[in-house]
Amino acid sequence: MLLSALFSAVNGALAKILSEDLSALEIVFFRNLIGVVFIVLMLRHTPGKFSSSHLGSLILRGLLGFSAMILFFYTITAIPLGVAITLNKTSPFFVAILAFFLLNERASKQSIIALFIGFFGVLLITKPQGINLIDYDHLLGILGGFFAAAAYTTIRKIKDHFDSRVIVLSFMVSGTILPILLFFLANFYTPPSYLAFLITPFEMPLSWSIWGFILLMAVISTISQWLLTKAYSSTNATIIGVVSYTNIPFAIGFGVMLGDAFPDIVALCGILFIVLGGLLVNRAKAS
């Protein structure tokens, strides 16, 4: 899990480097296109379970996964890497909320306390002031955490009907087809500034170094997912959940190396509160 967290932070750093030449939508497109090829080859070698009666839920998972990914990669390009990854780590809080409303799971007192702690951490990071409650880029980071949680919740409803590779393929296909449609739309529609990251024209990378970074990001993200799977299959999920938060200091370190400012004391306290809230949520689920 420690290695997975490290590779996850490296993946974020590579996305930040690529953002100097590619839009967030292009990064998402190339990452998923390579992933689709890889997963399809795996499924051709060893077919997986597929239930056509739950196809709608599978498509929904793909759409939610794409939404989470585009918002995550955009925030990486717009705000410090450590903060972007920390805001994405709010997903366990939204999972607990969605599980209560959609899956009828009981919310323990510890879970409720953890939610308050975690969202207090969000307030410290975003520093809302007056009418402008939360900066737009930070808000998109939080929305990315929400959509990631919604995708995780959907997985829990369909995991018994589809092979895990098919579930992964669903959001990779969405993350390939939807960017193509948005690239096409950009030729006929000029979006307002707040949607410019989502509707943007496509430009083919011409530099071999850019292609190298794209392929490296695909390999790194695949290794990270494989290590994550191995970790969760090897020991207690609560322990793994604790170690997973080490990708935040890794991300802060890589971000500083790439030119991000080191988080101030208030933001650091916010990061610690989010980590503490996440750990308490994981502990509550385990108990």
* 62-101 pLDDT tens trace: 899 899 999 999 999 999 999 999 998 888 888 888 877 7
Burial call 17-55: b when 16+ CB within 10 Å, e when fewer: bbbeebbbbbbbbbbbbbbbebbeeeeeeeeeeeeeebe
Q: Which pLDDT band holds residue 197 (cuts at 50, 70, 90)?
A: very high
Compute the chain's Rg from CA coordinates.
Answer: 19
Non-local (6+) Cβ contacts of 217 within 8 A are: 11, 14, 15, 18, 27, 31
Q: How confident is the model at residue 238 (pLDDT cuts 50, 70, 90)?
A: low
Range of the domain at 148: 2-286
Side-chain-side CA neighbours of 268 within 13 Å: the count stands at 7
Considering the chain, what is the average pLDDT of its residues? 86
pLDDT tens per residue across span 161-177 = 887 778 888 888 999 99
CA distances from 222 to 7, 23, 214, 228 (A): 9, 21, 12, 10
Q: What ranges in 19-163 are assigned the alpha helix state H?
A: 24-45, 55-78, 81-88, 91-102, 109-126, 136-158
Count of structural domains, the chain: 1
Which residues have a Cβ under 8 Å from the Cβ of 177 and sit 6 or more positions away? Answer: none
Report the distance separating Cα 69 and Cα 216, nearest Å: 18
Question: How confident is the model over 180-186, as a mean pLDDT?
Answer: 96
- Checking 268-273 for CB contacts under 8 A at 24+ apart, the result is 269/121, 269/124, 270/86, 270/120, 270/121, 270/122, 270/123, 270/124, 270/125, 270/126, 271/82, 271/83, 271/86, 271/121, 271/125, 272/121, 273/117, 273/118, 273/120, 273/121, 273/124
**How many Cα atoms within 13 Å fall on the side-chain side of residue 27?**
29
What digits encode the pLDDT tens for the residues 130-154? 545 778 899 999 999 999 888 878 8
pLDDT tens digits, one per residue of 7-48: 989 999 999 999 999 999 999 999 889 888 888 888 888 777
pTM: predicted TM-score of the whole model, two decimal places: 0.88
Mean pLDDT (whole number) for 265-286: 86
